[in-house]
Structure 1
Amino acid sequence: MPRHLAPGVYIEEITSKAHAIERASTSTTAFVGITQRNSLAADRFDPDKVTAFTSFRDYLGRFGPVLSSGDDMGLAVQAFFLNGGDRCYVFPLSNNSSTASVLLGGMRITANGDGPWGNRLYVRISETDQESAVFNLEIGTRNNTGVFYANEKYASLSLQASSENFVGNVLSRQSALVSADIDDTSTLPQATDIEGIALQGGSQSSPSPSDFRDFYNRSLIKVQDVSIIVLPGQVWAADGSGNEIISATLTHCDDTQSSVVIIDLPKDAELTNARHVERMALPASSYSVLYYPWVGMNNSLYSSSANPTISKKIYLAPSAIAAGMWAKIDKQRGVWKTPAGIEAQLTGSVSLRFRVDSHVQEEISPPGINCIRDMGLRVGRVLWGARTLANTRGIDMRYIAVRRTTIMIKESIDNGTDWVIFEPNDPRLWSSLKSSIENFLFELFRSGALQGAKAEEAYFVHCGLGDTMTQSDLDNMRVVVNVGFALLKPAEFTVIKIEKRAGV
């Protein structure tokens, strides 16, 4: 401590003895399922090397452009970022896959990534000059009428590795779609017809429910910051037969208690009354959320020149849109704010698959269906529901904000108290632990996350011998903390138990 020898005002920085607890991430979304390229088997993921995407541009750099309306993953990630999402992981699962290619003279053109997406690529060769041994190359797709449309163009390419325009180097540096390997430098590719030649052989097998379970148990469980899961392309059957992949995902969420899965219904499943909902036999869990109906969006594949015959509108499952909206409202208001209402206005939407009025909502909302409503020109289309699929009564987790806030508090405290592991399990530890958690909850209280006019009405923290622990706990190096907090809805205390090992 410095010595103060002269009159004056002195300011010193004093380090708090309480360990600060940071809020856990609430909006990082995991997209799990089939991608059109660069898929991996469930046992090949390294959870220590996964990279989060913070923009749709990041996704395009890894998985390439969306080339068809069947690219559920690409369209979902695009809708997520369009509606406020700011961070996600994409886990591309596949059983087995192969890469599309085509042999043109002594040159093989191969898609940049495995999967069926490569079969949509076409190569057009023109202006082949046998004397100078150069050619022009275009890579593109065909529209619905079979007309070739170039995405990439390269001029005066050579098969010779010594050339500054060596096709292998040029494509390696510049092409997002293909690469080139030379089998025979003396056989120049011949000019193709005006519509080009298709790449062939790209394929992948759909992952099974056991592949998803294996992925969750091996890999996703080790990715600490995921709190939302979306399954592009997976829908819960309207006839009540369910979906094994969704069920496997929900089992993961129920077991880990750290994430919520947003599930979808089939596009053409119309709900008009409670009986329709009952027939679907939806999973009754607070870790599952469902939105209805599908959302009409501007079709990014439409082009008046390249694809004039396809629809300007495409219907998307609402799960990714809702995940983006959750992230947006978490950032603006906090996870305790229900992600619904006027501020939950959809971006990019042009219509809804089915109209939902007040009468329909009164029928299907109590069983847990969150409606998407068109509130007219002044407001637009908005999320208009706040429930999980939990079917319990009274003090429960029927509300999205309650379930997600509880996850955030539990994860924050659990992550922020790992320091106790090597501390002596004595009253000093209990006091320090209690102070850390109380400071964290007080900040939530000040932010408006908890009920009560004063702190003692909003939360409590108990930790001590004879209170939360017995002598047997101490002998077995367990430190137990009971934490209670009054969330905004329901207006009663939710209690969680945090248990750590100390003195080890």
Structure 2
Amino acid sequence: MTSPGLLAAALLPADTVTTGSASVSRAPGVSVEFAEARQAISPRRTDITGFVGIARRGPLHTPVRVESWGEFVAAFGRHTPAGYLAYAVEAFFANGGRTAWVVRTAHPGSTLPAQLDLADDAGHPTLRLTAAWSGVGAETALPNPGTWAHRMTASVARDGDRFDLTLRAPDGLTEHWRDLGTSGPRQVPDVLNDVATGSRLATAALLGGPGTPPAPTIGPAAFAGGAEGLSDLATVDVTRGIAALEQIDEIAILAVPDLQEVPRTSVHTALPVPRCDVLNVTVAQAPPDTDPTEFPPRLDVAAGQAELIAQCERARDRFAILDPPRGASDPATAIAWRDALMPSAFAAAYFPWVLAPDPLQLSGRLVRPVPPSGHVAGVYARGDLTVGVHKPPANEALELAADVGFRADDLIHGIVNEACLNLIRPYDGRGIRVAGARTLSCRSPWRYVNVRRLVAMIEEAVGEDLAWAVFEPNNADLWAQVDRAVRGFLDDLWRAGMLDGATAAEAFDVRCDAETNPPDQIGLGRLTCRIALRPPPPAEFVIVRVTLSAEGAPSVVRGGIDA
């Protein structure tokens, strides 16, 4: 298929010279060119989720984009007893999520990256290695604080004034750096600290300057001196992580599972599972983790969630998923918590906590109670990707959920639902499901999650893709162009089933004309386009009425309309 650009070039006469985007004819004749078309309005992704929480490793208060559970583990490590972030992100991907932005939080004043000083033959330190992170998109290597690197080792094999360096991370990741030196073209800092081709585990610094003697050959030496910065973690540290996500425009969902209190529990170290496909192979095991777990203090859940909602209210293009406090283990306490929240249409609350499989086996248990926001965010993403943002994120089964912290019956479900608190409950033969789709607003027209999120997506798409209209002549031609662009966009949404109505006229209405743009508004430099939408409300209550006819045959009436 010929592209418009190629087609335009083919229609130009042979004696036409093209200069930049314009053409200059040298001989009389007719030339055909394509004018630059206005950019059409396109839907935005609504499944991308931002997480803030406690992780084993990774840069502090720096958003990192991950697109799988494996990428999260590579950047932030696996589960930790000190927080719930890893459980939430794992559940997000297991339930259908594809893209997440993750921010690790800790108290920056008390975090330290582990280091290792290598000395020369006389015992004078010459080279310092510091645990660091340099992932995809990083502009420079960042400190990677924590005690995780206490199990990272470095080995040196010296040959004259050159040496080889081997770095081995606790998860088995190994880096081999050949022919290094303290001077010349392959100085250690130049090689290891290069963001594009350097180390993903450590940065290097020469303590004695270029030309200092290299370290002698040594076996595996462990890093030391790292600090987690969790014992004095404050709510402001978490809100700093939330603020870091505000600059990421593509985020549409927010979840902060580590505002919750974390109980002090012991870690049950499970033996490694033997591999049946490999015989007589000795697998190098990482040194045991002997550092005591540092737990955060109790945080101000209300203040943290208020900041989460406030960001969504300011941005108007994202939605917050809120977890009940750990102590809200019964409906009455959970409803009291929900009633104290800001009545925002840009947030929804879910109850109760979920029992998720626990690879740490804390206190010898196979499951751990975790906040439900990670699971629910995955359900949001699954529906957005498979159907669309107009689909209510409810009546969907949860993966990585063994049970719930509170089992509700229909009576409790009704009470919780009337309080606009979305219930998670198990159903016989259907698994554990999200059984609610109400926002904190609890009032029409913003009562339902899908309605608010759909309109937010439309607002963002129209606002961004009509940027070309700024400083255009504010006249009937511009109004007509804006009208066509918006109508085309909404018509595509209606045809995709994202707007309700038997016809396009029933689904939406667009007005951008002299009526919406009177002379006094034009004089102020304003252009107004009025849009009316009819989002599809969820079938929250499905009523089936059964009556008997005179002949005794049943007649089924669905939705209150006689069949």
Q: For residue 313 of structure 2, what is the amino acid of its counterpart?
A: D
Partner SS, residue 269 of structure 1: coil
User: Structure with the greater relative contact order (CA < 8 A, sep ≥ 6): 1 or 2?
Assistant: 1
Residue 464 (structure 2) pairs with residue 435 (structure 1)? no
> What residue is the counterpart of 1:87 in the other structure?
99
Q: For residue 338 of structure 1, what is the amino acid of its counterpart?
A: P
Q: For residue 82 of structure 2, what is the amino acid of its counterpart?
A: G
Counterparts of residues 211-250 of structure 1 (less than 5 Å): 212=239, 216=243, 220-235=245-260, 242-250=301-309
Partner SS, residue 434 of structure 1: helix
Compute the displacement of 1:385 (Å).
1.1
> What residue is the counterpart of 2:440 in the other structure?
389
Partner SS, residue 202 of structure 1: coil
Quote the Cα distance in structure 1 between the aligned partners of 2:388 and 2:425: 23
Counterparts of residues 126-141 of structure 1 (less than 5 Å): none
Counterparts of residues 159-174 of structure 1 (less than 5 Å): none
CA contact (8 A) 1:119 1:202 kept: no
Quote the Cα distance in structure 2 between the aligned partners of 1:70 and 1:210: 15
CA RMSD of aligned residues (A): 4.4
Quote the Cα distance in structure 1 between the aligned partners of 2:42 and 2:502: 24
> What residue is the counterpart of 2:358 in the other structure?
299
> What residue is the counterpart of 2:137 in the other structure?
none
> What residue is the counterpart of 1:416 in the other structure?
465
> What residue is the counterpart of 1:20 in the other structure?
40
Cα–Cα, structure 1 residues 208 and 314, in superposed 2: closer, same or farther, change >3 Å? Answer: closer
> What residue is the counterpart of 1:8 in the other structure?
none
Counterparts of residues 314-463 of structure 1 (less than 5 Å): 314-341=368-395, 344-376=396-428, 378-392=429-443, 395-463=444-512
Q: For residue 311 of structure 2, what is the amino acid of its counterpart?
A: H
Compute the displacement of 1:99 (Å).
0.9
Quote the Cα distance in structure 2 between the aligned partners of 1:126 and 1:445: 63
Q: Percent identity?
A: 25
Partner SS, residue 262 of structure 1: strand
Cα–Cα, structure 1 residues 312 and 437, in superposed 2: closer, same or farther, change >3 Å? Answer: same
> What residue is the counterpart of 1:117 in the other structure?
146
Quote the Cα distance in structure 1 between the aligned partners of 2:352 and 2:342: 18
The range that moved more, 64-73 or 410-419, is: 64-73
Q: For residue 225 of structure 1, what is the amino acid of its counterpart?
A: E
Q: For residue 68 of structure 1, what is the amino acid of its counterpart?
A: T
CA contact (8 A) 1:119 1:198 kept: no
Cα–Cα, structure 1 residues 123 and 59, in superposed 2: closer, same or farther, change >3 Å? Answer: closer
Residue 223 (structure 2) pairs with residue 201 (structure 1)? no
CA contact (8 A) 2:56 2:148 kept: no
CA contact (8 A) 1:229 1:259 kept: yes
Query: Normalising to structure 2: TM-score of the pair?
Result: 0.67
Quote the Cα distance in structure 2 between the aligned partners of 1:77 and 1:240: 21
CA contact (8 A) 1:369 1:387 kept: yes
Compute the displacement of 1:26 (Å).
1.0
> What residue is the counterpart of 1:145 in the other structure?
none
Residue 100 (structure 2) pairs with residue 100 (structure 1)? no
Cα–Cα, structure 1 residues 159 and 293, in superposed 2: closer, same or farther, change >3 Å? Answer: same
Quote the Cα distance in structure 1 between the aligned partners of 2:164 and 2:35: 70
Partner SS, residue 257 of structure 2: coil
Cα–Cα, structure 1 residues 286 and 458, in superposed 2: closer, same or farther, change >3 Å? Answer: same
Q: For residue 448 of structure 1, what is the amino acid of its counterpart?
A: G
Quote the Cα distance in structure 2 between the aligned partners of 1:412 and 1:135: 53
Partner SS, residue 527 of structure 2: strand
The range that moved more, 166-175 or 398-407, is: 166-175
Quote the Cα distance in structure 2 between the aligned partners of 1:167 and 1:310: 45
Compute the displacement of 1:67 (Å).
5.3
Compute the displacement of 1:14 (Å).
9.1
Cα–Cα, structure 1 residues 21 and 180, in superposed 2: closer, same or farther, change >3 Å? Answer: closer
Query: Normalising to structure 1: TM-score of the pair?
Result: 0.74
Cα–Cα, structure 1 residues 382 and 29, in superposed 2: closer, same or farther, change >3 Å? Answer: same
Counterparts of residues 149-160 of structure 1 (less than 5 Å): 151=172
Residue 51 (structure 2) pairs with residue 37 (structure 1)? no
Compute the displacement of 1:223 (Å).
2.8
Compute the displacement of 1:58 (Å).
2.9
> Which structure 1 residue ranges, 5 or more long, are not aligned?
4-11, 142-149, 303-307, 492-504
C-alpha offsets along residues 276-317 of structure 1, whole Å, 9 cap, x if unaligned? 513552321111111222222222446xxxxx9854323321
Partner SS, residue 199 of structure 1: coil
Compute the displacement of 1:15 (Å).
8.4
Cα–Cα, structure 1 residues 187 and 18, in superposed 2: closer, same or farther, change >3 Å? Answer: closer
Quote the Cα distance in structure 2 between the aligned partners of 1:384 and 1:224: 30
Q: For residue 486 of structure 1, what is the amino acid of its counterpart?
A: R
Quote the Cα distance in structure 1 between the aligned partners of 2:527 and 2:261: 42
Q: For residue 328 of structure 1, what is the amino acid of its counterpart?
A: R
Cα–Cα, structure 1 residues 452 and 158, in superposed 2: closer, same or farther, change >3 Å? Answer: closer
Quote the Cα distance in structure 2 between the aligned partners of 1:77 and 1:362: 30
Q: For residue 28 of structure 1, what is the amino acid of its counterpart?
A: I
Quote the Cα distance in structure 1 between the aligned partners of 2:177 and 2:508: 72
Q: How many residues were matched structurally? A: 447
C-alpha offsets along residues 432-465 of structure 1, whole Å, 9 cap, x if unaligned? 1111111111111111111211111111011122
Cα–Cα, structure 1 residues 279 and 373, in superposed 2: closer, same or farther, change >3 Å? Answer: closer
Larger Rg: 2
Cα–Cα, structure 1 residues 227 and 160, in superposed 2: closer, same or farther, change >3 Å? Answer: closer
Cα–Cα, structure 1 residues 134 and 438, in superposed 2: closer, same or farther, change >3 Å? Answer: closer
Partner SS, residue 528 of structure 2: strand
Quote the Cα distance in structure 1 between the aligned partners of 2:528 and 2:132: 53
> What residue is the counterpart of 2:136 in the other structure?
none
Residue 337 (structure 2) pairs with residue 289 (structure 1)? no
Compute the displacement of 1:86 (Å).
1.1
CA contact (8 A) 2:242 2:308 kept: no
The range that moved more, 171-180 or 278-287, is: 171-180
Quote the Cα distance in structure 1 between the aligned partners of 2:198 and 2:480: 60
CA contact (8 A) 1:267 1:353 kept: no
> Which structure 2 residue ranges, 5 or more long, are not aligned?
1-7, 13-31, 120-124, 134-142, 263-297, 540-563
Q: For residue 471 of structure 1, what is the amino acid of its counterpart?
A: P
CA contact (8 A) 1:125 1:189 kept: no
Partner SS, residue 480 of structure 1: coil
